[in-house]
Amino acid sequence: MTERRLLLVNGPNLNLLGTREPEIYGSQTLDDVERIVADAAAARGFEVRAVQSNHEGVLLDAIHAARLDCAGIVINPGGLTHTSVVLRDALAGVDLPVAEVHISDVSQREPFRHHSYVADVAVVHVAGEGVAGYATAVRLLLDVVTGRAEG
């Protein structure tokens, strides 16, 4: 492994963190999430490139580009988790280890949120830890990336 960079992907509506349904998602913002991820990665000598978009194609393009200079992907697909085969296929197609993160415990929410198209391509799954779950996901993913754990 030569690249010491992770791609952080946040899907639709995550730009509203801090104001959107704080009883579910808390009061921390997307900037807070990006700082948490950058700090967790930096502690292990990695940098982070972050992207958030409400447009699926922007996320796909960022994932495709990651295959050239990233060692792994941390993703909270938002609602695309439950609807997007093309997002799943993009993640599978770049052949990078993936950590799937959800701020809330989606298994305890509405039934339509119980299925994840990303789950089978992710080697790390973190849900229900709030935004702190992003740091957990980074640590676990970097264990895989650096060979400390199997993916």
**Catalytic site residues?**
25, 102
76 annotated binding-site participant: yes
88 annotated binding-site participant: no
Torsion of CA 16, 20, 22, 23, to 10 degrees: -140
DSSP H/E element including 115? none
Six-digit token pair at 2? 């030569």
82 annotated binding-site participant: yes
- Residues found in the chain: 151
Residue that the structure tokens 């447009």 belong to: 55
107 annotated binding-site participant: no
> Residue 76's closest CA among 114, 29, 123, 133?
133
104 annotated binding-site participant: yes
Binding-site annotation, residues = 76, 82, 89, 103-104, 113
Binding-site annotation, residues for substrate = 76, 82, 89, 103-104, 113
